[in-house]
Amino acid sequence: MSGFSPEWLALREPADHAAINAQVRLELVRVLAGKASPKVVDLGCGAGSNLRGLSPWLPAGQSWTLVDYDQRLLDAAQARVARSPLSPSPREGGGTSVTYRQADFSAGDFAPLIAGADLVTAAALFDLVSVPVIGKLADAVTANRQIFCTVLTYDGIASFLPEHPLDRAMREAFNRHQQTDKGFGPAAGPNATEALAQAFTSRGYRVIRAKSPWVLDQTFERLRRELDQGWANAVRETGAVPVREIEGWIAHRLAAQDAVTVVGHEDLLAVPV
């Protein structure tokens, strides 16, 4: 089951929205522009961040289906929507409706989940997914000639200020941890966007991809501290770096007044040609 708490997802949401690549989003807006009342399926929706980030950009009268296997996160998403209803698209007026669906897609059975959607989307999901399941997703999406857009897939690039001699070893160990099984078989981790790009281009789609890094400076101080700690915990699990060295690294990160952590992501849009 998911290790993603509603609190963690809420903490990262502003940084996620700030990081989304404007070029990829603009192209998505362009390809969906003529589509009245689009139907959208958000895979691995968590507490609904992707809905809140993307819906203001899409045509009016949207119907979203939020899919996750974690009922606690679906409940959090529903509570947030109830607390602050989504405004009609500022572009044309017209409300956005949302339904919630609990489903585990680790076996790659996407077809019933995405049936009828104009757009299949996801955020911060595909680095968890295996290359074979990415292939199954591309099979299902391309069979229906649907549009696909995923954002914030970790790309293996990370840097830290102020620097520390262990930064490189920490990044390499973390990237290995990213490729362990997250429920889908060995995760694509930093190779996920390349796997998605190959899967969609080989099935005849046009693919656009561009970077969407987090730059976690003082604006995102709490997120930066929790993230650094999360990295230390993940690296500890790998056994690749001695525990005392990890403790030295995290102490250095937490002591720095003006620390910055940069985490690379990539966004990808795939469109039938």
Ligand X SMILES: C[S@@+](CC[C@H](N)C(=O)[O-])C[C@H]1O[C@@H](n2cnc3c(N)ncnc32)[C@H](O)[C@@H]1O
Which residues would be at the binding site for ligand X (CB under 6 A)?
Answer: 2, 4, 9, 16, 44-46, 49-50, 68-70, 73, 104-106, 123-125, 128, 183
Residue nearer to ligand X on the CB measure, 46 or 59: 46
Q: Smallest distance from the beta carbon of 101 to ligand X, in angstroms?
A: 10
Quickly list DSSP for 50-100: HHHHHGGGSPSS-EEEEEES-HHHHHHHHHHHHHSPPPPPTTT----EEEE
Which two structure tokens, joined as six digits, stand for 42?
Answer: 């958000």
Return the exposure string of 223-246: e unless at least 16 CB atoms fall within 10 Å of the residue's CB, then b.
bbbbbbeebbebbbeeeebeeeeb
Query: Which residue's C-beta sits nearest to ligand X?
Result: 46
Give SS3 for 213.
coil
Radius of gyration (C-alpha) of the chain in whole angstroms: 19
Nearer to ligand X by Cβ, of 60 and 215: the residue is: 215
C-beta of 178: minimal distance to ligand X in Å?
Answer: 12
Give ∠ CA 101-133-175 in degrees, rounded to 5. Answer: 105
Cβ proximity to ligand X, 140 vs 241, nearer residue: 140
Question: Could you tell me the smallest distance in angstroms from the CB atom of residue 247 to ligand X?
Answer: 26
CA distance 127 to 87: 31
Choice between 96 and 241, CB closer to ligand X: 96
The number of beta carbons lying within 10 Å of the beta carbon of residue 90 is: 9
Rounded to the nearest 5°, which phi and psi values hold at 165?
-55, -25
Smallest distance from the beta carbon of 54 to ligand X, in angstroms? 10
What is the smallest separation between the CB atom of 269 and ligand X, expressed in angstroms?
A: 16
Closest approach of ligand X to the CB of residue 153, in Å: 10
Between 123 and 137, CB nearer to ligand X: 123
- Cβ closer to ligand X: 123 or 149? 123
Q: Which CB atom, from 70 or from 118, has the smaller least distance to ligand X?
A: 70
> Smallest gap, in angstroms, from Cβ of residue 242 to ligand X?
29
